[in-house]
Amino acid sequence: MTETTAEKINQTPPSGDKPKNWLQWIDENLEKPILFIGMLAIILIITFQTAYRYVITDILGTTGSTVWAEESARYIFIWISYLAIPIAIKNRSNIRVDIVYDKLPQRFQKISWVVVDLLFLTLSGVIFFMGIEHIKMQLQMPQMTPGLQIPFFIPYLILPIGFGLMAIRVIQDLVRQVKITGAVDALIGVAVTLIIGAPLILGLDLEALVWLFGYFVLFLVIGVPIAIALGLSALATIIGAGSIPIDYVAQISFTSIDSFPIMAIPFFVAAGVFMGAGGLSKRLLAVADEMLGSLYGGVALASIATAMFFAAISGSGPATVAAIGSLTIPAMVERGYDKYFAAAIVACAGAIGVMIPPSNPFVVYGVSAQVSIGKLFMGGIVPGVLTGLVLMVITYFYSRKQGWRGEQRERNIKTFSKAIWDAKWALMVPVIILGGIYGGYMTPTEAAAVSAFYGLFVGVFIYKGINLKNITESFIEACSTSAIIIVLMAMATIFGNIMTVEQVPSKIADLILGITESKILVLLLINILLLIIGTFMEALAAIVILTPILLPIVIQFGVDPLHFGIIMVVNLALGFVTPPVGVNLFVASGVAKLKIENLSRVVFPMLLAMIVVLLLITYIPALPLALTKLM
């Protein structure tokens, strides 16, 4: 699974160069001030809430309530999540499946964008109008929010405003695409869209699951962003089969993400962005080099160790690869390492980014399965460390065979102490996150907010890598990256509600039970399923879709939901380096300027070793669950 960017899609309509007038400037920057202020506001609000409860209240002995803080932060979070999607629309950076798209001739690729835009416009338009109807209902029967004591319709205004702005951005993209595609091919795109909607227009009488999964698979194949595919297929099922009232679509779009635990996602993303922009990677690499740089494969070993350090900050596989690979891949090539090996080892090490806490996939699973996020974080440490050690063993012996020695220079207590001192501010981030959570001082969301605040402070005032030139883009990147995940969860909730109504989990459970009653075999089948899905679907999307299906099945076999969450995340982490669409492979191949198909072949032996780790944590629960017992 990849995030299709303007750089990857060579026919992405240009958004324009330097703005020619103030109207164009507003068009280019409309969302950015709101996103900047909103993200900064929720970081400061939750940091204040944490400080108030654990510092001001305890030390000064004062009392008071900060209910308003959490509630206002949640509503601002929802607003910036939906207002960041229009930027993703302009940049075409929504998560989608590109397997079929990449094989199409360029002409049909252009036509496919017309179809995608029209389908996206349909969903945006429906939720826009449903949002207006929902606000009308709230105005007729007014209610007040419990904390801020403001009318409920005010936070709900984001539905018509957010989806209305999405519709405008989609129309702009569609107009630009039509100019590139041409009138004839654009009409073909319109015709294809009408054919897709024909079963609904004709009022065919089909089973709800046929509507739901038929449309979902179709939308994925033609390259519709996964979040939109989930929403559209659910909408088609509601219209075609009436599984749930259509009025619920707007309400669920809001309530599904009105959640304090989910807010950890943008905070962890922001912390990683701030620390990356602040020059963190170079300092962490210096520490790892002091520890491992003199061995065979020294730079490669240091790359893996740095990825493990960075994983304790970013919670993102691709971010880890980009931050570490841009420094270490050129260094390895300069010292005689094979370029494909250098890129492959960094891509595989990047998968550790979602195992060692913090981890956005663990947050998503924790919310979906109602499992302790703190315990999931603890459960990810052992698989992450094991994966790192396995990759180090492979690197050492392969480098020894190739004669790739580490850099020979003086390394002693003095140089090691200096490297640690230079990286002290960076090394404090995991202490803040894990110490805050497991010391009982902060929830995962509060720890994430404090780490984001800390990362911003360090990046601006200490490392000084964040300045007036890049601070706005850092905030926008954090908002856009997290918003794609959040909207995916919102649409998946609507999709999941229909699956629940249609009893999909129980039907699949009965099917598997009909095949075997062996717990070992069931876990093996689920692992194979997840490995296959991980080859073409992004981990977060797979988690929100599959958790409600697979969790009831494994519970019947006595598998701890906590253990299953660890299995699922580690399994899907392998998808980051699994051809044909592993996002880590795309990032590494971009940094090293290599063909991804050649890089995929070099990754394969490392992938097999990572699968061995997966099987160990699957069938020896004591391994991943050992540290969770300490809580």
- pLDDT over 50 at 23, yes or no: yes
What tokens were used for 516?
């075997």
- pLDDT over 50 at 3, yes or no: no
Q: Which long-range contacts (CB under 8 A, 24 or more apart) does 29-35 make?
A: 30/86, 30/165, 31/83, 31/84, 31/86, 31/87, 31/165, 32/87, 32/472, 32/476, 34/79, 34/80, 34/83, 35/80, 35/83, 35/84, 35/87, 35/475, 35/476, 35/479
Q: Quick one: average pLDDT of 57-70?
A: 67
Closest to 610 (Cα-Cα) out of 566, 577, 568: 577
pLDDT at 37: 95
pLDDT at 116: 93
pTM of the model: 0.81
Closest to 344 (Cα-Cα) out of 183, 579, 174: 579
Rounded to the nearest 10°, the torsion over CA 56, 57, 62, 64 is: 110
Residue 93 DSSP symbol: -
Lowest-pLDDT choice from 19-28, 154-163, 353-362:
19-28
pLDDT at 64: 55
CB atoms closer than 10 angstroms to residue 86: 26
More confident residue, 484 or 366: 366
- pLDDT over 60 at 10, yes or no: no
**Residue 3 Cα to chain centre, angstroms:** 10
Residue 203 — φ and ψ, nearest 5°?
A: 70, 40
pLDDT at 197: 93
Rounded CA separation 387/610 (Å)? 6
More confident residue, 540 or 604: 604
Q: pLDDT (tens digit, 9 = 90+) per residue, 90-127? A: 888 766 767 777 788 899 989 999 999 999 999 999 99
3-state secondary structure of 547: helix
**Residue 287 · residue 419 · CB < 8 Å:** yes
Residue 144 — φ and ψ, nearest 5°?
A: -110, 145
Pairing, β 2-3 against β 95-96: antiparallel
User: Please, which pLDDT band fits residue 55 given cuts at 50, 70 and 90?
Assistant: low
What tokens were used for 44?
């400061």
pLDDT at 17: 52
- pLDDT over 60 at 18, yes or no: no
Domain ranges of the chain: 2-39+77-255, 271-462+503-630
Count H helices, E strands: the chain? 30, 2
Closest to 117 (Cα-Cα) out of 161, 179, 159: 179
**Residue 162 · residue 271 · CB < 8 Å:** no
What is the total residue count of the chain? 631
Place of tokens 């990449």: 102
What tokens were used for 387?
């994966």
- pLDDT over 70 at 9, yes or no: no
**Residue 90 · residue 479 · CB < 8 Å:** no
pLDDT at 566: 96
Q: pLDDT (tens digit, 9 = 90+) per residue, 470-493? A: 899 999 988 988 888 888 888 888
pLDDT at 293: 78
Place of tokens 């210096």: 286
pLDDT at 6: 33
Mean pLDDT, the chain, whole residue set: 85
Residue 2 — φ and ψ, nearest 5°?
A: -130, 160
Rounded to the nearest 10°, the torsion over CA 203, 205, 210, 215 is: 0
Cα separation values, 600 from 273, 342, 404, 604, Å: 27, 13, 22, 7
pLDDT at 58: 63
Mention every residue, 6+ apart, whose C-beta is less than 8 A from residue 100: 221, 222, 223
Q: Strand pairing partners for 3?
A: 95
pLDDT at 478: 87
Rounded CA separation 521/537 (Å)? 24
More confident residue, 595 or 460: 460
What tokens were used for 626?
């050992």
Rounded CA separation 601/590 (Å)? 16
- Peptide bond connecting 548 to the previous residue in cis, omega within 30 degrees of 0: no
Rounded to the nearest 10°, the torsion over CA 24, 26, 31, 32 is: 100
Residue 405 DSSP symbol: P
User: Please, which pLDDT band fits residue 16 given cuts at 50, 70 and 90?
Assistant: very low
Q: pLDDT (tens digit, 9 = 90+) per residue, 557-567? A: 889 999 999 99
Closest to 225 (Cα-Cα) out of 292, 173, 274: 173
Lowest-pLDDT choice from 76-80, 498-502, 506-510, 579-583:
579-583
Mention every residue, 6+ apart, whose C-beta is less than 8 A from residue 526: 550, 553, 554, 567
pLDDT at 14: 46
**Residue 130 · residue 249 · CB < 8 Å:** yes
What tokens were used for 242?
């009436």
